[in-house]
Amino acid sequence: MTPFSIVVAMDQNRGIGRDGKLPWYLKCDLKHFKEITTQTRDQNKHNAVIMGRKTWDSLPAQFRPLPKRVNVVITRNANLQFPQDVLRVNGLEQALDLFAKGALSKIIESVYVIGGAQIFEQAIVRKECRKIYLTQILHSFDCDTFFPPFVDYFQHEAGSPRYVENEISYLFAEYSRKAGV
Ligand SMILES: NC(=O)c1ccc[n+]([C@@H]2O[C@H](COP(=O)([O-])OP(=O)(O)OC[C@H]3O[C@@H](n4cnc5c(N)ncnc54)[C@H](OP(=O)(O)O)[C@@H]3O)[C@@H](O)[C@H]2O)c1
């Protein structure tokens, strides 16, 4: 069993995407995402980021694979080619298995599921999903992709003050899995 966390930014309606992209540009949130997913306590280890194929496609070419992290892409298409060092898997189960034992388990400190909606849906129902790092955007965007309802599974643990960027207010929150669900 590989424990993992989710990192997500969502608007007031749980919207996370539009036309295969993020509906907003928040530089501080991108920095926050990078810090959470890159930082390790052990300097000799890296973290892993697991994403759906559409989220991979959404990353600007110059930023992928996400540096200093082991990138894992979930797809049903066994013919898709990815850059060297990117791991292609056929489902979330196979992605998590990569880090359960063997060589990768020794060099990976934390595992983060970073989207999109299809993968989040499969992730939040798993007991190994311990935590959600949530950027709560206090604004409504025109979205076509949504984070699933999660408050039945997760409880609020911590929240930052509000920040404002490009006239958009947002805060960073942390949710942890409720006992027994
Ligand atoms: N706001 C945020 O924090 C955030 C984070 C990430 C993404 N996003 C946004 O979310 C949107 C993308 O999300 P999405 O839900 O459309 O796509 P997604 O979850 O990123 O990727 C979906 C793809 O993953 C593969 N997949 C899903 N379930 C699978 C399974 N059980 N087995 C094997 N493969 C599976 C399939 O790839 P194949 O079709 O190749 O088989 C599927 O088309 C974009 O707008 C993106 O910008 C937002």
Whichever domain contains 32, its CATH number is: 3.40.430.10
Q: How far is the CA of 120 from the centre of ligand 1 (A)?
A: 8
pLDDT digits (tens, 9 = 90+) for 124-172: 999 999 999 999 999 999 999 999 999 999 999 999 999 999 999 999 9
> Could you tell me the distance, in angstroms and rounded to a whole number, from the CA of residue 43 to the centre of ligand 1?
31
> What count of residues does the chain have?
181
| Residue 173 to residue 157: CA distance in whole angstroms | 7
List own/partner pairs for 100-107 with CB under 8 A and 24 or more apart: 100/1, 100/2, 104/48, 104/70, 105/2, 107/44, 107/45, 107/46
| pLDDT tops 90 at residue 11 | yes
Q: Would the pLDDT of 38 be above 90?
A: yes
Which residues approach ligand 1 with their CB closer than 6 A?
8-9, 16-17, 20-22, 51-55, 58, 74-77, 90-91, 114-119, 145
Model-wide pTM > 0.85:
yes
Amino acid making up residue 79: N
pLDDT bin (cut points 50, 70, 90) of residue 51 is: very high
pLDDT, position 162:
97
What mean pLDDT do residues 29-45 have?
98
- Please report the pLDDT score of residue 1 as a whole number: 85
Q: Which whole number is the average pLDDT over 15-28? A: 97
Estimate to the nearest angstrom the gap between the alpha carbon of 120 and the chain centroid: 8
Take atom 9 of ligand 1 and give the residue whose Cα is closest: 17
- What is the number of domains present in the chain? 1
The two three-digit tokens of residue 64, written as one number: 């992928």
Q: Does residue 84 have a pLDDT over 90?
A: yes
- Find the domain containing 86 and state its range: 4-177
